[in-house]
């Protein structure tokens, strides 16, 4: 078992990661009858994409002996109305500490192989931008 999800009522859930005990609270978003006081389930999907891409880049960067600590990703999730689903995910990476073009290319390509990227439907548009400092 990976996690256990409990419905807390009022459109809120609590997820517990079995191995670590870490918790995630989710709320329905304001535009879907919720309070919007925490990540919605679809927010979590969009955020997981950015986190996964950074993790895969981190693995490759470690192999290349490149440090991009301090890099960030700004995530925007765009919903479609009918049917209600994620239509697009925009991620803008602000990358720190990578100097040469070869390493930039290697890291960008590695990001596009992350399991979440490869698992998401091809119907979800993925708009990915890398800005290198």
Which structural domain range is residue 98 located in?
40-132
Domain check: are 33 and 49 in the same one?
A: no
Taking the model in full, what pTM does it have?
0.94
Half-sphere exposure of 5 (CA within 13 A, CB side): 10
Residues 63 and 128 in one domain: yes
How many other C-beta atoms can be found within 10 angstroms of the C-beta atom of residue 104? 15
Instruction: Tell whether 82 and 124 lie within a shared domain.
Output: yes
> Does 113 lie in the same domain as 86?
yes
CATH of the domain at 85: 3.30.300.20
Cβ burial, residue 114 (10 Å; 0-12/13-18/19+): buried
Tokens of 69: 């600590």
Q: What confidence score (pLDDT) does residue 99 get?
A: 73
Pair 64, 97 in one domain: yes
> Do 28 and 60 reside in the same domain of the chain?
no
Asked whether residue 56 falls in the same domain as residue 114, the answer is yes
Residues 44 and 34 in one domain: no
Q: Could you give the CA distance from residue 13 to residue 8 in angstroms, rounded to a whole number?
A: 5
The pLDDT of residue 92: 98
Q: What share of the chain is helix, strand, coil (3-state, %, to 5)?
A: 30, 35, 35
Check whether residue 48 and residue 33 sit in a common domain. Answer: no
Q: Are residues 5 and 16 in the same domain?
A: yes
Same domain, 48 and 93: yes
Counting the structural domains of the chain, the total is 2
Strands 85-95 and 125-132: parallel
Sheet holding 3-9, edge to edge: 3-9, 12-17, 23-27
* Per-residue confidence in pLDDT tens, the chain, 133 aa: 999 999 999 999 999 999 999 999 999 999 899 999 999 999 999 999 999 999 999 999 999 999 999 999 999 999 999 999 999 999 999 999 877 999 999 999 999 999 999 999 999 999 999 999 8
């Amino acid at each position: 078992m990976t996690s256990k999800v409990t419905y807390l009522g009022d459109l809120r859930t609590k997820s517990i990661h079995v191995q670590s005990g870490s918790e995630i609270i989710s709320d329905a978003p304001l535009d879907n009858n919720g309070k919007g006081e925490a990540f919605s389930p679809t927010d979590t999907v969009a955020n997981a994409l950015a986190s996964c891409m950074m993790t895969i880049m981190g693995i490759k960067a470690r192999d290349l002996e490149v440090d991009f600590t301090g890099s960030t990703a700004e995530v925007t999730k765009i919903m479609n109305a009918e049917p209600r689903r994620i239509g697009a995910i925009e991620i803008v990476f602000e990358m720190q500490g990578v100097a040469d073009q070869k390493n930039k290319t290697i890291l960008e390509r590695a990001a596009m192989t992350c399991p979440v990227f490869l698992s998401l439907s091809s119907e979800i548009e993925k708009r990915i931008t890398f800005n290198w400092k």
